[in-house]
Amino acid sequence: MALQSQASEEAKGPWQEADQEQQEPVGSPEPEPEPEPEPEPVPVPPPEPQPEPQPLPDPAPLPELEFESERVHEPEPTPTVETRGTARGFQPPEGGFGWVVVFAATWCNGSIFGIHNSVGILYSMLLEEEKEKNRQVEFQAAWVGALAMGMIFFCSPIVSIFTDRLGCRITATAGAAVAFIGLHTSSFTRMLGDKIKLAQTFQVLSTFMFVLMLLSLTYRPLLPSSQDTPSKRGVRTLHQRFLAQLRKYFNMRVFRQRTYRIWAFGIAAAALGYFVPYVHLMKYVEEEFSEIKETWVLLVCIGATSGLGRLVSGHISDSIPGLKKIYLQVLSFLLLGLMSMMIPLCRDFGGLIVVCLFLGLCDGFFITIMAPIAFELVGPMQASQAIGYLLGMMALPMIAGPPIAGLLRNCFGDYHVAFYFAGVPPIIGAVILFFVPLMHQRMFKKEQRDSSKDKMLAPDPDPNGELLPGSPNPEEPI
């Protein structure tokens, strides 16, 4: 029994302990173990907001490459030494030293054209000297003055080329030197005899040319010249360079304009009778008014009113817009032709003086407004060569006019028919010039109509989704 009870107690042992642990009194609780502190959570940084996608910036425009144009392919008018490197907005200074240049140019014009316009006196002396040897000397002697004046106009295109190449100063100085040498050496000739006695006259006139040599030095360049560098010229053969220079200095583009061709032809036609009174007037007065000894008064009248006409016409032409300036030339040529025809109708010397006053006035108007009209027709860049070609075209008619008048004098025995002939070409030239402004205005209106028609017919490009003609839906542009 003892063994049984011991075994039962051993069997109950673990369960009894468990029950005792469950039935322990509440009054004596054992201290509960402190709970382990929970680890503080590591703060997770909030996620950074993703930046909204930005549109890509527009790519920077590529720098435009500047290419220097080669002058071989574009035959532009060659700038002179005075205008090479000139800025577009450059304005030459006025006043001050400019008045010295004006005086030099006045001396040049007055001395050169004063000598040539007085050729009628030399013509009369030549007739007296050679009349005994040749009774038909009028035709031959007229060639002297005609060639002298004609060479001025004939050399004008060549001189304009030298001016473009060398500049005004060198060209004017060289021309004055040639004139001085020619007049001074002519004073030593003895072929004309002692009756004319031109030695002292030529020596005095040569001093005018010597002064002109000094005054031409005032044509100084306003800006330093910029010579062409090899990089500008490029690699060109000798033949290409020659053709390029030829196209530069013989620029024929001015003849592409119809109005310029008509204008130049009209002036060249009028020049056939322009120089006839200057050559034959002195001899005509000696034949018709033998009692008058002061025939030189007529030349003074022509020169005085010519200078007055140049001053007045410059101011008047500035107030006339555009090509309407040509109407001044039309009026001057009409009066010039009528006054030439009036010379044989004058019965006294006073009437002849009045005619000569109008002749000089017409001469001043005609010469002065020639350059402004050329600027209006072809523009300032081509005006220099346009004037040069015009004067070159005038050379042949001016050379032919006085000999033809002398031939008519030999055929009819007086100068009446010769002066009637001299009045016809200026009137014809005036009629031709009358239509130049009308034709220019008509061509301008036609170009305006054509340009406006082209703008209406030409489709515009599609700028960023704009509606083009023929689009089915009138959507808003993107």
Could you tell me which residue, 130 or 75, shows the higher pLDDT?
130
Of the candidates 288, 292, 293, 327, the residue with the CA atom closest to the CA atom of residue 414: 288
* CATH code: domain of residue 400: 1.20.1250.20
Q: Residue 238 has what pLDDT? A: 74
Of the candidates 334, 353, 330, 197, the residue with the CA atom closest to the CA atom of residue 262: 330
**Residues 116 and 208 sit within 8 Å (Cβ to Cβ):** no
Distance, in Å, from the CA atom of 391 to the CA atom of 156, rounded to the nearest integer, reads: 6
Residue 467: pLDDT over 50: no
Asked whether residue 390 is domain-assigned, the answer is yes
Number of compact structural domains in the chain: 1
The overall pTM is greater than 0.95: no
Q: Which of 195-209, 318-332, 364-378 is the least confident region?
A: 195-209
pLDDT, one tens digit per residue, over 46-56 is 666 665 666 66
Q: Residue 446 has what pLDDT? A: 80
Q: Residue 79 has what pLDDT? A: 44
Asked whether residue 17 is domain-assigned, the answer is no
Asked whether residue 261 is domain-assigned, the answer is yes
| Dihedral over alpha carbons 419, 424, 430, 433 (to 10 degrees) | -130
Distance, in Å, from the CA atom of 383 to the CA atom of 444, rounded to the nearest integer, reads: 20
Q: Residue 135 has what pLDDT? A: 63
| Three-state DSSP class for residue 46 | coil
Asked whether residue 341 is domain-assigned, the answer is yes
The residue-averaged pLDDT of 466-471 equals 38
Distance, in Å, from the CA atom of 9 to the CA atom of 16, rounded to the nearest integer, reads: 9
Domain ranges, residue 365:
252-452
Residue 324: what residue type?
K
Q: Tokens 């090479």 map to which residue?
A: 84
Asked whether residue 292 is domain-assigned, the answer is yes
Asked whether residue 288 is domain-assigned, the answer is yes
Q: Is the dihedral of CA 435, 437, 441, 447 positive or negative?
A: positive
Instruction: Report the mean per-residue pLDDT for the chain.
Output: 74
pLDDT bracket for residue 88 (50, 70, 90): very low
pLDDT bracket for residue 382 (50, 70, 90): confident
Distance, in Å, from the CA atom of 141 to the CA atom of 129, rounded to the nearest integer, reads: 11
Of the candidates 282, 303, 284, 265, the residue with the CA atom closest to the CA atom of residue 397: 265
- In Å, how far are 60, 295, 298, 347, 417 from 120, measured between CA atoms? 76, 10, 11, 21, 18
Q: Which of 227-241, 256-270, 408-422 is the least confident region?
A: 227-241
Portion of the chain with pLDDT greater than 70, in percent: 67
Residue 37: pLDDT over 70: no
Asked whether residue 286 is domain-assigned, the answer is yes
Asked whether residue 427 is domain-assigned, the answer is yes
Structure token pair of residue 212: 């002109």
pLDDT bracket for residue 87 (50, 70, 90): very low
